[in-house]
Chain A
Amino acid sequence: GEDVEQSLFLSVREGDSSVINCTYTDSSSTYLYWYKQEPGAGLQLLTYIFSNMDMKQDQRLTVLLNKKDKHLSLRIADTQTGDSAIYFCAETVNSGNTPLVFGKGTRLSVIA
């Protein structure tokens, strides 16, 4: 079945870059997503990348996609304490005919 894998924890110092990694299984995924969840709240869409792209940059966020290895990463430049949250990777499967498949989430802790 479909599976999205992420490491569970990441700790970085304020001002450093954070890189959160994800591997997915459905080679036909058309879109891949990054969602952010702050403590005690719901998820919010952070960014997404279309499968025919290798990279997408949006201010401090850079998404890299390696389709050959089915690997997705989210880089946060100049990480701030406000970036502390859980980050979920998600993929479309079955050409969008079934709901998004989410990874288990990576908890990012930013140390001041």
Chain B
Amino acid sequence: DGGITQSPKYLFRKEGQNVTLSCEQNLNHDAMYWYRQDPGQGLRLIYYSQIVNDFQKGDIAEGYSVSREKKESFPLTVTSAQKNPTAFYLCASSMGWGAGELFFGEGSRLTVL
């Protein structure tokens, strides 16, 4: 079955540590996205990639980094510079840039202890 897979589903991190969240899709989609979700805040865009080897900052990119070396993979690193990293992180993809139908993964919940 085609889909988008995020791992791990739950992750605990000590302050000062970097952590990488995995996002893999087998839908052959060109565009991929990372969102952060906090209660009452809705979805906030962290980074997005229109095509392999290219990515742009979203609204809240500070303290995060990404790479897009392969079409199917768009990992997100939460660095120690991110002041409040505890959140639910959602990865999504779309067939092409500008497509309104986004396919979402099941999310990764990061808790910083």
Contacts and interface: CB of A to CB of B under 8 A. Distances in A.
Interface of A: 8, 31, 33, 35, 40-45, 48, 88, 90, 92, 95-97, 99-100, 102-105
Interface of B: 4, 33, 40-43, 45, 48, 58, 90, 92, 97-102, 104-107
Residue from the set A35, A45, A104 with the largest chain B CB neighbour count within 10 Å: A104
A57 B27 CA distance: 28
B58 A99 contact: yes
B107 A96 contact: no
28 contacts: A8-B40, A31-B100, A35-B102, A40-B107, A42-B4, A42-B90, A42-B104, A42-B106, A43-B43, A43-B90, A43-B92, A43-B102, A44-B104, A45-B102, A48-B100, A48-B101, A88-B43, A92-B98, A96-B97, A96-B98, A96-B99, A97-B98, A99-B45, A99-B58, A100-B102, A102-B42, A103-B42, A104-B42
Contacts of A44: 104
Given A92-B98, A99-B33, A41 B107 contact: yes
Contact of B41 (A31, A40, A45, A104): A104
B106 A41 contact: yes
B104 A100 contact: no
A112 to B, nearest CB: 24
Given A99-B48, A104-B41, A105-B42, A45 B101 contact: yes
Contacts of B43: 43, 88, 102, 105
Contacts of B40: 8, 104
- Enumerate the 4 nearest inter-chain pairs by beta-carbon distance, A residue then B residue, closest first: A42-B104, A96-B98, A104-B42, A102-B43
A92 B43 CA distance: 15
Residue from the set A33, A88, A97, A100 with the largest chain B CB neighbour count within 10 Å: A100
B61 to A, nearest CB: 13
